[in-house]
Structure 1
Amino acid sequence: MVNITFLWRLLLAFCAGALLLLALAYYWLENTTHEWIGTGLFALLIGHNLLHRRWWGNVIQPRRTPDSRLDRALSLSLLTSMLALLFSSLAISQTVFAFLRLGGGFSARQIHIFAAYWCVVLVSVHLGFRWQRVMQFVRHALHLHADSKARSWGLRVAAAAIATVGLQSSFVMEVGSKLTLQMSLEWWDFAQSTLGFFLRWLSILGLYTTATHYALQWMRTRD
């Protein structure tokens, strides 16, 4: 039987991730649509954290394993980035929250952009920490109970291919410059290819998710 609670958590998380990636296409969406997507994103994140309130209630408890300590540090980093994204978005809002009149200037916009790209990376790593549970859920939902070497190797090859494209896309989209708050000359021509923009960012997400998943597996074999 499918775990309905986990399914809802999974759908909520993936919808929030989809909105985060969609919001990156600012120059395709224009400002008003971008702000409404961001508002929807934070509404989903509130629901996501309410569903995981027990985890946050235990966050101050000692963690016994290295990966659980890393997971806590990651979650707190992601929370910090999301809060920076939220408050900077309120400060620079021109439509949805313009009535607040917080008057955010250039610095607030820089913080907003900086936090957004770090959120993408941290969300990817966050997913990587939970990828084994996601795969177990999918296997159970599809009744794939028997182990299959062919299926395992097929998934590994697919993961390697996605990671390879993600690494190449990281250079195309100048992710390193964006994460270090350096001047980036990258500008995507949405008139030429809108789908390509999202495929690039999905592959980057896949790169960090895959790298985290296999790094955790390596760490666990060494314990």
Structure 2
Amino acid sequence: MKKINDVKFLLDVVMAVLFVLFFNKNVLGGLAFHEIAGLFFAAAYITHVLLNLDWVKRVTVKMFDRGLSWRVRGSYALNLLLLLSMTFIIVSGILVSRIVFPNIHVGNEGWFKMTHISVSFLVLALVGVHVGLHWQWVLNMCKKMTCVKKSRSWLRYAAQGLTVIVLLFGVYQINQTSFVTRLKSSVSAFSVHTNQAGPEGRKAVGGKEIGEMRGERPAGGEGQPRRRGGNVSVANVLLTYSGIMAVFVIATHYLRKASFSRKTKEG
């Protein structure tokens, strides 16, 4: 069981890093990395689901049991939404592939490109909520791997201070990247008529063109080439979108903690 938890933890870390890097297709060589790593991510996500299949089966069987807590029901609903949205991102990514699957041609490709990107912003928030709900498990795994047996008072204060810094940084990045607008676009994307996406798939989403949202520089005039892959800092992409995810992790963790504390006092 302990080895399985280690595998789950390492797999989750790899998936989180990859998913964050996907928000700019110019990192680590550009589109080739984006598509090839995307296939690896798909395999890792399927493995993640299979490793947690026992929990899914148990909850599914008890879904209509009145004794099942609303916390478990909510977690189940969140995981189901993640499964559906992740599946859409993976499938749509394959359909619009240019390198790994260049011979796949679908109608309304512009719509698939648009929704592939916009739904990714929704998933980033959902993953943050998911991690926040399991943050205590994450902390326990980190303590185990770093051989930290007992938290010292100064370490707790340092962690609290770091949490505030990360939260402020994440909120700043949410504002800088127009994340809220892009998050709204993930909801409206499915209601957009496919003809509005245009033959090139360049329809604006939340005020940003598809290429710009994927890390390309908008054309600035005649003769000015668009930026190619490999010119973007990996550290900047990781910090930006990890910071945004962290806002949802922190908010979910402390809301859950406050709810648990209130129930304890009431009981």
Give the TM-score normalised by structure 1: 0.89
Matched with 1:112 is 116
Q: In structure 1, what residue type is equivalent to 2:92?
A: S
Corresponding residue of 2:207: 183
How far the C-alpha of 1:115 sits from its partner, in A, is 1.5
Q: Distance in 2 between matches of 1:10 and 1:102?
A: 37
Q: Which moved more, 1:43-52 or 1:96-105?
A: 96-105
CA distance in 1, matches of 2:171, 2:114: 25
SS in 2 for 1:98: coil
Q: Matched residues in 1 for 2:117 and 2:244: separation?
A: 17
Q: Corresponding residue for 1:82?
A: 86
Query: Residues 193 and 136 from structure 1, CA distance in 2 versus in 1: closer, same or farther, beyond 3 angstroms?
Result: closer
Unaligned runs of 5+ in 1: none
Question: How many aligned positions are there?
Answer: 222
1:145–1:115 distance in 2 versus 1, CA, 3 Å: same
**Structural mapping, 1:82-101, within 5 Å:** 82-101=86-105
Q: Report the identity percentage.
A: 22
**Backbone CA RMSD of aligned residues:** 2.3
User: Per-residue deviation at 1:15?
Assistant: 0.7
Provide closer, same or farther for how the CA distance between residues 125 and 108 of structure 1 changes in structure 2, counting only shifts above 3 A: same
Shift of 1:156: 1.4
Q: Greater relative contact order: 1 or 2 (C-alpha under 8 angstroms, separation 6 or more)?
A: 2
Offset from partner CA, 1:159-210 (integer Å, 9 cap, x none): 1110110000111111111111122377667857552232111111211111
Quote the Cα distance in structure 1 between the aligned partners of 2:75 and 2:143: 24
CA distance in 2, matches of 1:209, 1:141: 21
Long gaps (5+) in structure 2: 186-205, 218-229
Does the 8 Å CA contact 1:92/1:104 hold for their aligned counterparts?
no
The alpha-carbon deviation at position 33 of structure 1 amounts to 2.3
Are residues 18 and 143 of structure 1, via their aligned partners in 2, closer, same or farther at CA, if it must alter by over 3 Å? closer
More helix as a share of residues: 1
Tell me the secondary structure at the aligned position of residue 103 of structure 2: helix
User: Which residue number in structure 2 is paired with residue 219 of structure 1?
Assistant: 259
2:245 aligns with one of 198, 205, 215: 205
The answer to whether the 8 Å contact 1:88/1:104 transfers is no
Q: Closer, same or farther in 2 for the Cα pair 1:103/1:213, shift >3 Å?
A: same
Is 1:167 aligned to residue 171 of structure 2? yes
State the distance in 2 between where 1:192 and 1:77 align: 31
2:15 is the alignment partner of 1:31: no
3-state SS of paired residue (1:99): coil
Match for residue 128 of structure 1 among 128, 132, 138? 132
What's 1:9 paired with?
8
Give the structure with higher Rg (CA): 2
Given that 1:129 and 1:213 are in contact with CA atoms closer than 8 Å, whether structure 2 keeps it comes out as: yes
User: 7-16 vs 201-210, which deviates more?
Assistant: 201-210
Q: Which moved more, 1:132-141 or 1:160-169?
A: 132-141
Between the aligned partners of 1:159 and 1:6, the Cα distance in structure 2 is: 25
SS at match of 1:144: coil
| TM-score normalized by the length of structure 2 | 0.75
Change (3 A) 1:175 1:22: same
Q: Separation in 2 of the partners of 1:57 and 1:192?
A: 42
Larger CA deviation: 11-20 vs 147-156:
147-156
Q: Is 1:19–1:41's contact at 8 Å kept on the other side of the alignment? A: yes
Q: Aligned partners of 1:191, 1:33: CA distance in 2, in Å?
A: 13
